[in-house]
Structure 1
Amino acid sequence: MIRVTVWYEYVQEAGEFNEEFLPKDMSVEEKARLKKRVADVAAKIKEVYPKGVMGTVAEHLESCEDMQVTSVRMNMPEYGLPDNLLNHTDVLIWWAHVAHDRIPDCLVEKIKDRVLKGMGFIPLHSAHPSKPMKALLGTSGSLKWREGDFCRVWNTNPTHPIAQGIPESFELEEEEMYGEFFDIPKPDDVVFLSWYRGGEVFRSGCTWQRGYGKIFYFQPGHETNPSYHNPYVLKVIENAVRWAAPVMWRENLECPNIVESPESKYLKK
């Protein structure tokens, strides 16, 4: 059984408006406009995803007999990832957007260590500049973006385990455009490449190995677009969980001093 933890930021969907995080010089009028936009976005998200953005993904994974799914949110104690959960997670799915900086560095380090020891990590959509992804990949994750464009997702590596059951291409009628240059290290595999009607292309499904852990970044999933209702998007995430599941674990990340070599027993006394 693959132990999957689905982590969700849950700031926009909750309609959170906290002036503590706003620029000190923002005018009253600007704050009012922003507050209305926050409320409008929250209402739109709930319209598109009545069960929640990540609730929709979690529901699909829960239907898989080989997966045990736990859903958590950033507003839970210990940011939703206490040690007893993280240390019993085989694959961590991470969706974040507007509150990357709120994740404490100590938690980021724990996630990184867990991946290096074998845990799979699947950052989705706007998690591209999230602290865990940047810590694991060592780059900024920066890119170009534009809301609301037609997207064709091309399957560029059809023999890859993540691409099984996915056609040559599939369409997303409306998805946030992400465009190159995407500041990531050279992927081990580019499984999917997205093309947008505006002309941009994007490496939208990429894999890496870090230590004993596997990482898969997948682009579709803007909070006000119905991409997580698309059966191919859900199938990709399902496949990615199985692919990223640990093959074996490393107990610690130390550098042991090996005094006696493997060949020492053959040396002449």
Structure 2
Amino acid sequence: MKVTVWNENRHEKQNETVAGIYPNGIHGTIAAFLHESGFDTRTATLDEPEHGLTDDVLAETDVLVWWGHKAHEEVKDDIAEKVKQRVLDGMGLVVLHSAHFSKVFKKLMGTSCDLKWREADDRERIWVVDPSHPITEGLGEFIELEKEEMYGEHFDIPAPDELIFVSWFEGGEVFRSGATFKRGKGKIFYFRPGHETYPTYHNKEIQRVITNGVNWAANRNTPSPTYGNRKPLENISDK
């Protein structure tokens, strides 16, 4: 399976704390543990030509992992539309943390995707609410993160096809932190944790969720429907 990990790669260049946590970039850290799990991984970043998402790259990508935060508006509309179309055509999409506000995710959801937030070192407890789902394989009842950015309800997304995780935060808020959606032939997994100033993507349980999410989102050679006016498959008898 071929996986492309996309990241703005801006915080890592501008913030020493982030650079210290992710010396190879958030994209590099995620691509590395996915590669260790057996995926054929590549990375792409905002400042590359076509944001690293050329037609050839997208055509070869089975699952795209997307992390963005401070530069959503710098993503070109035509590239976001091209990614959306690839999802509709069957490419899997794993949307991480603040990529809830990315052009790609908002196009696919059709809503504002807005929420409450706070940076105050909240403890986060991510509860598994669908223990039978393959994305939860290998986990316990919950994942606990000592410090994370808080996201709180209401999260302005359509009702998920499946709700997999719900987070509780030390400040009292809750959040639908793991949800899946289907659009066209594509499968989408949104997973909340991953603020850039915390080492969240070094956490083995978080890595397990993302790895499971990539496996789940891959298109398993599903049939391609056809549309429009069609000739009958059988002879239609006169009535």
State the TM-score, normalizing by the size of structure 2. Answer: 0.95
SS across alignment from 2:12: coil
Q: Residue 118 of structure 1 contacts residue 250 of structure 1 at CA under 8 Å; is this kept in 2?
A: no
Aligned partner letter, 2:233? P
Of 145, 168, 172, the match for 1:195: 168
For 1:134 and 1:254, locate their aligned partners in 2 and report how far apart those are by CA, in whole Å: 26
Aligned partner letter, 2:203? N
Q: Deviations over 1:197-228 (max 9, x none)?
A: 10000000000010110000000000001111
Aligned partner letter, 2:190? Y
Residue of structure 1 equivalent to 2:18: 45
Aligned partner letter, 2:43? S
Of 179, 182, 186, the match for 2:152: 179
Larger radius of gyration: 1
Residue of structure 2 equivalent to 1:19: none
Residue of structure 1 equivalent to 2:49: 77
Residue of structure 1 equivalent to 2:105: 133
- Kindly state the Cα deviation for residue 248 of structure 1 after the two structures are TM-superposed: 2.6
- Kindly state the Cα deviation for residue 232 of structure 1 after the two structures are TM-superposed: 0.6
For 1:56 and 1:139, locate their aligned partners in 2 and report how far apart those are by CA, in whole Å: 30
Residue of structure 2 equivalent to 1:9: 8
SS across alignment from 1:59: helix
Q: Residue 93 of structure 2 contacts residue 187 of structure 2 at CA under 8 Å; is this kept in 1?
A: yes
Unaligned runs of 5+ in 1: 16-41
Q: Residue 160 of structure 1 contacts residue 191 of structure 1 at CA under 8 Å; is this kept in 2?
A: yes
Residue of structure 2 equivalent to 1:55: 28
Q: Deviations over 1:209-260 (max 9, x none)?
A: 1011000000000000111111110000000000000123676x974321x2
Of 85, 101, 117, the match for 2:89: 117
For 1:119 and 1:179, locate their aligned partners in 2 and report how far apart those are by CA, in whole Å: 29
2:101 matches 1:102 = no
Aligned partner letter, 1:262? L
Of 115, 132, 138, the match for 1:165: 138
Aligned partner letter, 2:79? L
Q: Percent of aligned pairs with the same residue?
A: 50
Q: Deviations over 1:178-198 (max 9, x none)?
A: 000000000011111110010
- Kindly state the Cα deviation for residue 266 of structure 1 after the two structures are TM-superposed: 4.8
SS across alignment from 1:4: strand
User: CA, structure 1 residues 77+250, in 2 after alignment: closer, same or farther (shift >3 Å)?
Assistant: farther
SS across alignment from 2:176: strand
For 1:207 and 1:220, locate their aligned partners in 2 and report how far apart those are by CA, in whole Å: 15
Q: Residue 11 of structure 2 contacts residue 19 of structure 2 at CA under 8 Å; is this kept in 1?
A: no
Q: Residue 13 of structure 2 contacts residue 19 of structure 2 at CA under 8 Å; is this kept in 1?
A: no
For 1:184 and 1:266, locate their aligned partners in 2 and report how far apart those are by CA, in whole Å: 45
User: CA, structure 1 residues 77+188, in 2 after alignment: closer, same or farther (shift >3 Å)?
Assistant: same
- 1:116-265 to structure 2, matched below 5 A, reads 116-147=88-119, 148-248=121-221, 255-258=227-230, 260-263=231-234, 265=235
- Alpha-carbon RMSD across the aligned residues, in angstroms, is 1.6
Aligned partner letter, 1:50? P
Unaligned runs of 5+ in 2: none
Aligned partner letter, 2:61? T
State the TM-score, normalizing by the size of structure 1. Answer: 0.85
- Kindly state the Cα deviation for residue 262 of structure 1 after the two structures are TM-superposed: 2.2
For 1:191 and 1:80, locate their aligned partners in 2 and report how far apart those are by CA, in whole Å: 31
- 1:85-100 to structure 2, matched below 5 A, reads 85-100=57-72
Aligned partner letter, 1:74? L
Equivalent residues, number? 238
Aligned partner letter, 2:237? L
SS across alignment from 1:153: strand
Aligned partner letter, 2:6? W
